Amino acid sequence: MGLGRWFSRKLKELQLRKEREAEGTSRSATTSPSRSSGHHQPRPFTFRELAAATNDFKQQFLIGAGGFGSVYKGRSRKNGLLMAIKQLNRQGLQGQQEFLVEVLMLSLLQHPNIIRMYGYCDDGVQRLIVYEYMPMGSLEDHLYVKSDIYSFGVLLLELLTGREAMDIDPNQREESIVEWVRKKLRFCTILDIADRKLRENFKLPDLSKAMTLAFSCVQDDPDSRPSTGTLLQTMESLASDPVGGAPLWRSLRRGSDASSSGGAGELLNPNTSRRQRPYSR
């Protein structure tokens, strides 16, 4: 109930901010938000402001398109800030409250390796979300080889455990997050090492699937890591459909190799109370 009240309060704050902007009392930010400044509130943009930034959404500024909408590169006429502006399809528009809920959840995602959301536009039938512009494109464009899969797995482990990629162990020795996870899996289940806040707020099958995916990406043997296709498919299923309780390890197994070698498939079965040593050196 406490979480529900907090969420309702945050939603009302966004609604009040939109009303103030419509009345002309809101003032736009003049500089790009700093990544070191912590959590920030998304600012409202007017449709006219975003249309000017993209020269009326000209085709030459289109940098991506998908089922949910189109993304344009834009530059603020006020301060020169480069932005990626996602214009949602009108045919699939959510109601105002659902749209603001989505904006709120996006604004809470704070991580150095996740693009920042600058704000949103809810102007009549127009629904747009404004992100920082990344000249090198999305991570999906660069995930080609198995070493990239490993690095992506480290990032996922950071997000899911709440730990840094490198930390100091009790003996004052530098320890990577992968080493830390391997140690923990000798005695713990994969859900035990997930961030407590995630365990409290997300369905455990979903969390188990995400944790399993992350750990499979950092296997020592590159051939044991999932392909980019498997990675993308799994992440898309996490983003859209709820997990029906089936552990991910079955879908990641590679025939008899996984079951005979004691690899990630057997190791990460969430129904196992104890874990084997992750790797035999």
Is 259 found in the same domain as 148?
yes
Is 185 found in the same domain as 147?
yes
The pTM of the full predicted model, rounded to 2 decimals, is 0.43
* C-alpha–C-alpha distance, residues 255 and 250, integer Å: 10
* C-alpha–C-alpha distance, residues 2 and 8, integer Å: 10
Domain membership of residue 10 (yes or no) is no
Its domain, for residue 52, covers 41-137
Is 154 found in the same domain as 118?
no
Each residue of 240-271: pLDDT tens digit? 654 443 333 333 333 333 333 333 333 333 33
Look over the chain and give the mean of its residue pLDDT values, rounded to a whole number. Answer: 71
> Mean per-residue pLDDT for 41-49?
86
Domain membership of residue 253 (yes or no) is yes
CATH number at residue 51: 3.30.200.20
Enumerate the H helices of 28-118 as residue ranges. Answer: 47-53, 96-107
> Mean per-residue pLDDT for 131-141?
75
> In this model, does residue 99 exceed pLDDT 90?
no
Cα→Cα distances 163→110, 178, 208, Å: 14, 11, 17
DSSP state of 102: H
* pLDDT of res. 43: 84
Is 148 found in the same domain as 117?
no
* pLDDT of res. 138: 66
138 within 8 A of 113, measured Cβ to Cβ = no
Name the percent of the chain lying above pLDDT 70. 60
272 within 8 A of 185, measured Cβ to Cβ = no
Q: Which of 14-23, 128-137, 212-221, 238-247 has the lowest mean pLDDT?
A: 238-247
Q: Which residues contact 243 (CB under 8 A, 6 or more apart)?
A: 203, 205, 206, 208, 209, 237
Domain membership of residue 33 (yes or no) is no
Is 118 found in the same domain as 165?
no
Is 155 found in the same domain as 106?
no
Domain membership of residue 144 (yes or no) is yes
* pLDDT of res. 18: 57
Is 248 found in the same domain as 195?
yes
Is 203 annotated to bind a ligand? Reply is no
The residue out of 137, 156, 190 marking a domain boundary is 137
* C-alpha–C-alpha distance, residues 160 and 198, integer Å: 7
Domain membership of residue 22 (yes or no) is no
The residue out of 95, 112, 137 marking a domain boundary is 137
**To which H or E segment does residue 175 belong?**
strand 174-176
Each residue of 185-220: pLDDT tens digit? 888 888 888 888 887 777 788 888 888 899 899 998
Is 239 found in the same domain as 151?
yes
Domain membership of residue 89 (yes or no) is yes
If one counts the domains in the chain, the total is 2
Is 157 found in the same domain as 130?
no
| 3-class DSSP assignment, residue 209 | helix
Q: Which residues contact 181 (CB under 8 A, 6 or more apart)?
A: 157, 161, 193, 215, 218
259 within 8 A of 266, measured Cβ to Cβ = yes
Is 186 found in the same domain as 164?
yes
The residue out of 117, 137, 157 marking a domain boundary is 137
Most confident of 54-63, 84-93, 199-208, 241-250: 54-63
Enumerate the H helices of the chain as residue ranges. Answer: 2-22, 47-53, 96-107, 146-161, 177-184, 196-201, 204-217, 228-240, 249-252, 256-261, 264-267
Is 258 found in the same domain as 153?
yes
CATH number at residue 211: 1.10.510.10
Domain membership of residue 32 (yes or no) is no
Is 88 found in the same domain as 205?
no
* pLDDT of res. 1: 43
Residue length of the chain: 281
Domain membership of residue 12 (yes or no) is no
